[in-house]
Structure 1
Amino acid sequence: MSRTPNTHLRALLEEAGWNGAQLAAALRHIATEYGQQLVCDRSVVSRWLSGTTPRPPVPALLLEVLSRRLQRPLGAVEAGLSRAPSAMFDLSGEADPLRRLSQLTRADLDPSRRHLLGAGMYSLAALTVPDAWSPRENPPTGPPPDLPRTKGRAGQAEVEQMQTMARVFAEAAEAHGPGHVRTALAAYLGHDVTGYLQSRATEDLRRRLLSGAAQLTVLLGTMCAGSGADALAQHYHHTAAQLAVEAGDAATFAITLRTMSAHAHDLGHHTPAVLNLAQRAADATRSAAPIVAAYAHAHLAVIQAHHDKHAALTTLADSERLYEQANNTAPGPFTRYPAGALHYQRAQTLATLGDTAGATGALTASLRLRTPAEHQARTLTRARLAETLLTQGHLDAALTHWQTFLDDYPTLHSTRTTRRLEAMRRLLNPHRRHRTTAHILTQAASIH
């Protein structure tokens, strides 16, 4: 049986200005970024172009490498990859954020479809946010016409309920790690919140409902990132940004862009695209409350430190000035920015600039200011402080903090704490003959 040539992939290859050997080399290189080894050469690419369907994870890698080359996100259909085994969850053709949210949560909650969400990969190319995305002045007063209407009504009580649930879910994730909370939030969004958004509403009420949905969705994205589901987190973050645009909510839009940039940075990326996203987040806070502006500018300084020392220090000073001006007493994950978090961003900035002593001081202040409710943040701060102390040769002081980190580790279900555990093992291995170090490494080896 003859195969149908993949003309879509060939067209993209020509647009990229690559031959088969160059595409193969780019694929091998990008595979290493994701910790994979890929056997691929010109002959393999030739077979794909002739109609052979590549097997996972190649389809996801192909989309990412071509998206980066062409500087625009590509979907599986556009690359002729929609028939690949375990086809990726492709939302490239879905522009409406409410439909995107409904499709994502349904797949996330369906065991038979959840594997599709994991078939994709985190995409640097998808960090580009269209310039046209800016909060609307007049959001639509109803759901998309092809979505079913709910029989019930949504009002101010549902708006307040969503605000309460955002606090509850954020506090639970901070206390226990996102792995224990993520599915419950996906169910609430998929079952309750999408129902509220399918009701007719006045313009003002519609704004509030969309804002609440955007905030809950960015929280879910962050929980996915904290659970190691980075590609799914990216889908949720993009959807949250679109919902904030529909709501005309500049503050939530800025927070979402900042979150997307921070997610990329946590994964080790600080490219111009990551910087641009952080800058857009800061720019979007011009009419927002000072506390939101401080939050966005502090992260911008973290990213600028990889590119421009003077700009980073200037922006860091701006964030601290904005923080001093802010009313930081309102409860909730979108209205409060803990002082310990600001010092943590200061430490990140200074560490990148090579000021290890300054970073140590900032992390010490951050740890001191963390409250008992900031359990995950306190644990991560302690681990970072231990790492920084070790770089200065203070092994005993670092071990004290790492011991506490290990004691707290089992209480958190979080990929971020797992990464810090792995870093601790790697950094302490050269000191394994030290008695206390050996004890800590033995304890760490028993943790699964």
Structure 2
Amino acid sequence: MHGQAEQVQVEGAQFEVQDVAGGRGLRGERGCSPARGDGQRHRTNDGGGNSVFVHQRPGNDAGRHELSVLNGEPEDAERSGEGSLSEGSAASASTPKATRTSETAERPLRAVTARFAAALLAAAAAVAATPPPYRPPFGAWSRANRGNPVLEPQRSGLEVSGVFNPAVIKDGDRYVMLYRAQDAQKTSRLLRATSGDGIHFVREAEPALVPEAEYERPGGVEDPRLVKIGETYRLTYTAYDGKDAQLALATSPDLRRWERRGVIMPAGRGRWNVHWTKSGAILDERVNGRYWMYYMGDAQGAYDQTGVAWSEDLLHWTEALDAPILPRRRGRFDSRVVEPGPPPVLTPEGILLVYNGADDRLVYRTGWALFDGKDPTRLLARSDTPIFVPERPWELVGQVPSVVFVEGLVREGPRWLFYYGAADTRVGVAEAFTRKESR
């Protein structure tokens, strides 16, 4: 996560935790000498005008740390070449004021107390053993299709008002997209398009799902998420009767014939979500013998936040917590809305959920959250800043301005494709690639 640097205090001296070659280390308040090779070297001021270095090679125990004491100002030491000191070497010939000692040396430390040295070594060892902050497995996002939408609304018919908020899944060698389309009366249907490359889509004439049930009329069926578990495709969507939006489910063996399973999270009946329910993102494998779903509920005060529910049969769902698992955060990009994006992904580090956040001005941006892979109700990390924001004119202007809203995800090898609605009017796709350290 991003944010203020982690701080450690040792014997009254303030240190900043930094990632360096070979692990993590401490940076002192008077500056830092970066690691050389695979070692770590960090400097602080001991209060007596001297610079203290802590240098550890990976694989060595705490007793093998090396302390170097240099008289004079830090900038003088830097100009003298102190950065070239390494474990087991004598002081550089270009630094006549430098002396070196270690835990086993008989010569006492000059201007550094044993208490300070011991505390500093202990703190450095503890920090080095602490894992670095989590980063998602994918790198920076970029807009595919040369920065243009992959679907735009037609001038008449079922999608004249807009096409947006798509779910996409790979079926054999084809990408199948179910997207929300609005007609002139703002009634929503789920239409279908297919692609061979995940970028260029061809519409199909027959809608995938139209409002038929009482709980779907007159508002329609909205905002799909798709997941395949076993041989069955499961579609969560928002059913809107003009009064309440409720999270509903349909299933299919082939992405064409859909059977309604009804409302799975009724509006106004939750333990904390007292109004609408939407945006069900189901993990496609069991954890602790259960299936898990992240969803959006309306909390008191008209704030949309993310909750978590579990099921043993994928049909009947039970809220897992008495409060949102991802609450809104004042002053952040998700201060007003925290809504799940595509189905979450189980990674070696945990369950990764990409989500949609909106601030008090209802500008929608994209964030991520990481949950414990053995306990989906335990939040491990969360983005402090968004990873994707509305920038292009077609993301800034439309039915709802300044919106990127991610609902679809397809992974193929190192490539991640994220499908999103833009300004509630168009469909875009962003791509990212797996970081080298995550491969």
Same fold at TM > 0.5: no
Structure showing the higher helix proportion among its residues: 1
Structure showing the higher strand proportion among its residues: 2
TM-score (norm 1): 0.20
